[in-house]
Amino acid sequence: MARVLVDKGPVHLDKLWDYAVPAEMDAEARPGVRVRVRFGAGTGKVREGRREGGGLLDGYIIERVAESDYRGPLAALAQVVSPEPVLGPGLLALCRAVADRYAGSLADVLQLAMPKRNARAEGEPSPPPLPPPEPPAPGSWARYPAGPGFLEALARGDRPRAVWTALPGPHWPREWATAVAATLASGRGALVVVPDGRTAERVDAALAEVLGGPGRHVLLTADLGPEERYRRWLAVSRGSVRAVVGTRAAMFAPVRDLGLVGIWDDGDRSHSDERLPQPHARDVLLLRAVHEKTGFLLGDLGRTVEAAQLVENGWARPLEADREQVRAAAPLIRTVDEGEVARDAEARAARLPTLAWQTVREALTRGPVLVQVPRRGYVPKLACERCREPARCAHCSGPLEARDAEHLVCGWCGRDEPAWHCRECGGVRLRASIVGARRTAEELGRAFPAVPVRTSGRDHVLTSVPDRPALVVSTPGAEPVAEGGYAAALLLDGWALLGRPDLRAGEDALRHWLEAASLVRGHGEGGEGGDGRGGTVVIMAEPTQRPVQALVRWDPAGYAARELAERSQLGFPPISRMAAVTGPAEAVAELIASAGLPEGAETLGPVPLPPPPPGRPRRPGDPPRARSGSARCCGYAPARAAPSRRPSRRRRRAVWRGGRRTPRCGWIPWILADLGRPGLLLVWALAGSGPGPGLGIGRPRPPVWALAGPVWVLAGLGHGSGRWPAPVWVLAGLGHGLGVGRPRFGRWPASAVPGWSAHRWRGVSGAAGPPGAGACRPGGACPE
């Protein structure tokens, strides 16, 4: 018999299933191999004591047993896909621990841990393992007081655990390679996880230099392709290679005799997998360090709150340089207040205050200058120049952005907006709320016409730049490495990073600033190959902000410790564990009532979730979208579908010209105006649906406490979806009256004004409609 883990995601199937092993498969059906089994057959069809039928699913044999606890008929293994044992006991235990930690299923975790099989790579033999290297010299680790001792502990076979705050500069990849070499010298393996492929290539090059060439380590990234990646994964699983450096998926690499697990820049969001159960590489490596009894090294230029917690509770020790070394390695940091930028005449032309402009001009005589811009694109956020209202798409209400100097495009639906005007004030001029990297490069090119300008961002990421004068405009995380270091760096629009509505806004802003500033030549060293003068970093942000002060002092550890203390008082993560549940109100209430929460657990909510903005792609945690034609949707009653018959061209033209031919526009709204205390006033109005005001005449019906006589009413213009403008809300009557307009169609079909909805109507100032008075588009999804 064989106990099989079926590759099926639901939690209620997260258990082992017994299958009979045919005699012809007995030799190959070993624990850890891939198999295919029939699942969901039931007991209705049994032949020769074996179940038949059901769908074919992939799975893994976990163990072989003599007999099953199940007394009914069993299904037999359909196929042994490969005799290669890929799921060992250590990897299985790790995946089980990750599934329990994140409340997921074991099958979901295995889908993240196991690469896809490639028959050609599996048929190739792996080379024999090389003998352990000699222990390396400390090298640049000597700059840290505890650095040489940490390497000696790894070489002896001990299990040291440290949180390493790396010094700025180009030395940290080689320091990672030295720690891996010290672990290999003890006869054990090492695993290092980095956030992206560019960082992995830097560490890979340093490992090849320290270890003396290829053969002792492998690089595992998504860029390798499925065949080459599986070939390298098999070399690790078979024990041919004992050192691995890679991106997020490498955290499950089956390294034999693991002696060190390490992670670089654990605050990067790339370390968190987007697929269920969304494990974080830091937590997975912590589990490996505990279960496999290995050393642990968390390295970063800064320090996250989670890393500060490891130091505070004594699980890991800090590995830091003294203040003299920090001052020598770090560049000079200068701040510019946003108020000074607004008052500076020089900043109007190129967004650079006088201090920044002088710094760039002087640094360009000595080498390249880095300019970090928080947002990519040309102008990613626009607003009305007159009233500062954000510019929105007329189709889906998404934010408009300028991808170049000529075109406006919606950021959600991608439609062009050639004739935009403000819905609030009617203005037609726009201003840039946020300026992107490409627009910044364009402005800097005009300010420094003799200097080449290069950009690095999501569409095109530069790896390195030569050591000659140039302006390098980059978004956070895409900064290229300069040969010899940058002569200066500008950190623009600091408010954009600090102002995000996120618990980690300050921590992430400081991390991005430290990464950019670490590429600048050290203030005390002058940079490798430089002229002896260090670099300068100018940050444009409020100097009193705590992340800005931490950057000026180059004290990320102090900032993380204070942030951890404040979260401890409030009970925020990582002090507490939080889980969010999203779903229908009845299902959420039932789950809360039936869940066995531990003692002291606090339940917040449930609270209603606002509907996502129209046109925006659905994100995890969003409430479910209502189906078209439902009874109620986002507070709006659905509209009846328009007749299939379309009006003639003449009639459609008459509707469009309704402002000038009001009596022939085809519909008449009735308006009931409430005067408040005086009583009711019934006002009949004729309102055009085209580009012109409608004119109404009202006569009060007694009893009223106001003037008896005609009331003139002006109806505003509407901006409805579809080909023609829509009906409008009308401010009618005397005193405090609000009119409610409803179109009455005579011989003109309702399709003459298609898709009218209340949230698009704009009439006379002060006009508004009551909740539920609008309508969703006929035959489509709710726009809200």
Summarize the confidence of residues 471-492 as an average pLDDT: 93
pLDDT at 736: 38
Q: Which residue has the tokens 């950019």?
A: 516
Query: Which range scores top for mean pLDDT: 41-55, 327-341, 604-618?
Result: 327-341
Q: Which of 161-175, 451-465, 551-565 shows the lowest per-residue confidence on average (mean pLDDT)?
A: 451-465
CA pair distance 734, 195, nearest whole angstrom: 66
Which residue did the predictor score with more confidence, 525 or 407? 407
pLDDT at 637: 29
CA pair distance 18, 195, nearest whole angstrom: 40
Domain map (residue ranges) of the chain: 1-85, 139-326, 331-379+434-553
Tell me, letter by letter, the H, E, C secondary structure of 169-225: CCCHHHHHHHHHHHHHHCCCEEEEECCCHHHHHHHHHHHHHHHCCCCCCEEECHHHC
Q: Which of 22-26, 491-495, 529-533, 732-736 shows the lowest per-residue confidence on average (mean pLDDT)?
A: 732-736
pLDDT at 496: 85
Would the CA dihedral through 75, 76, 80, 86 be positive or negative? Answer: positive
Summarize the confidence of residues 199-212 as an average pLDDT: 94
What is the band of 48 on the pLDDT scale with cuts at 50, 70, 90? low
Residue 413 in marked binding region:
yes
Query: Which range scores top for mean pLDDT: 401-410, 601-610, 703-712, 742-751?
Result: 601-610
Q: What is the mean pLDDT of the chain?
A: 77
State pLDDT tens for residues 306-342: 999 999 999 999 999 999 999 999 999 999 876 666 6
Look up residue 301 and give its DSSP letter.
Answer: S
pLDDT at 375: 83
DSSP letters of 408-422? Answer: EEETTT--B-TT---
pLDDT higher than threshold 80 for residue 87: yes
pLDDT higher than threshold 90 for residue 579: no
Do 1-85 and 139-326 agree at the fold level? no
pLDDT higher than threshold 90 for residue 521: yes
Summarize the confidence of residues 753-774 as an average pLDDT: 30
pLDDT higher than threshold 80 for residue 622: no
Summarize the confidence of residues 717-730 as an average pLDDT: 37
Q: Rounded to the nearest 5°, which phi and psi values hold at 95? A: -65, -35
Helix (DSSP H) and strand (DSSP E) numbers for the chain: 20, 33
Q: Are 650 and 756 in contact (CB under 8 A)?
A: no
Question: What's the CATH class of domain 331-379+434-553?
Answer: alpha beta
What is the band of 751 on the pLDDT scale with cuts at 50, 70, 90? very low
Residue 782 in marked binding region:
no
pLDDT at 101: 92
Residue 384 in marked binding region:
yes
Which residue did the predictor score with more confidence, 697 or 129? 129
DSSP letters of 108-137? Answer: HHHHHHSPPP-HHHHHSPPPPPPPP-PPPP
State pLDDT tens for residues 249-308: 999 999 999 999 999 999 999 999 988 899 999 999 999 999 999 999 999 999 999 999
Summarize the confidence of residues 521-537 as an average pLDDT: 68
Which residue did the predictor score with more confidence, 494 or 671? 494
pLDDT higher than threshold 80 for residue 651: no
DSSP letters of 481-547? Answer: EETT-BSEEEE--HHHHHTSSSTTHHHHHHHHHHHHHTTBPPTTT--TTS-S---EEEEES-TTSHH
Q: Are 378 and 439 in contact (CB under 8 A)?
A: yes
Q: Which of 21-30, 469-478, 733-742 shows the lowest per-residue confidence on average (mean pLDDT)?
A: 733-742
Question: What's the CATH class of domain 1-85?
Answer: alpha beta
pLDDT higher than threshold 70 for residue 431: yes
Summarize the confidence of residues 22-41 as an average pLDDT: 89
pLDDT higher than threshold 80 for residue 766: no
pLDDT at 696: 40
What is the band of 109 on the pLDDT scale with cuts at 50, 70, 90? very high
DSSP letters of 307-337? Answer: HHHHHHTTSSEEE---HHHHHHHSPEEEEE-
Residue 665 in marked binding region:
no
pLDDT at 582: 83
pLDDT higher than threshold 70 for residue 194: yes
Query: Is residue 93 classed exposed, middle or buried when 0-12, 13-18 and 19+ CB atoms within 10 A define those classes?
Result: middle
CA pair distance 331, 336, nearest whole angstrom: 16
Summarize the confidence of residues 134-145 as an average pLDDT: 95
What is the band of 351 on the pLDDT scale with cuts at 50, 70, 90? low
| C-alpha distance from residue 633 to each of 67, 741, 770 (Å) | 56, 21, 15
Q: How close are the terminal C-alpha atoms of the chain, in Å?
A: 56
DSSP letters of 738-761? Answer: ----B--BSSS-GGGSTT--GGG-
Strands (E), 675-710: 680-686, 694-698
**Superfamily for domain range 139-326:** P-loop containing nucleotide triphosphate hydrolases (3.40.50.300)
pLDDT higher than threshold 50 for residue 402: yes
What is the band of 625 on the pLDDT scale with cuts at 50, 70, 90? low
pLDDT higher than threshold 70 for residue 538: yes
Provide the pairing of β-strand 464-465 with 430-434: unpaired
Q: Rounded to the nearest 5°, which phi and psi values hold at 551? A: -70, -45
CA pair distance 439, 536, nearest whole angstrom: 24
pLDDT at 232: 96
Q: Are 223 and 145 in contact (CB under 8 A)?
A: no
Provide the pairing of β-strand 46-47 with 243-246: unpaired
pLDDT at 387: 83
Please enumerate in sequence order all residues whose Cβ is within 8 A of that of 542, keeping only pairs 6 or more positions apart, or say none. 337, 338, 494, 495, 498, 548
Residue 396 in marked binding region:
yes
pLDDT higher than threshold 90 for residue 370: yes
pLDDT at 74: 85
pLDDT higher than threshold 80 for residue 348: no
pLDDT at 384: 87
pLDDT higher than threshold 90 for residue 506: yes
What is the band of 428 on the pLDDT scale with cuts at 50, 70, 90? confident
Which residues are registered as beta bridge partners of 38? 56
Summarize the confidence of residues 220-234 as an average pLDDT: 93
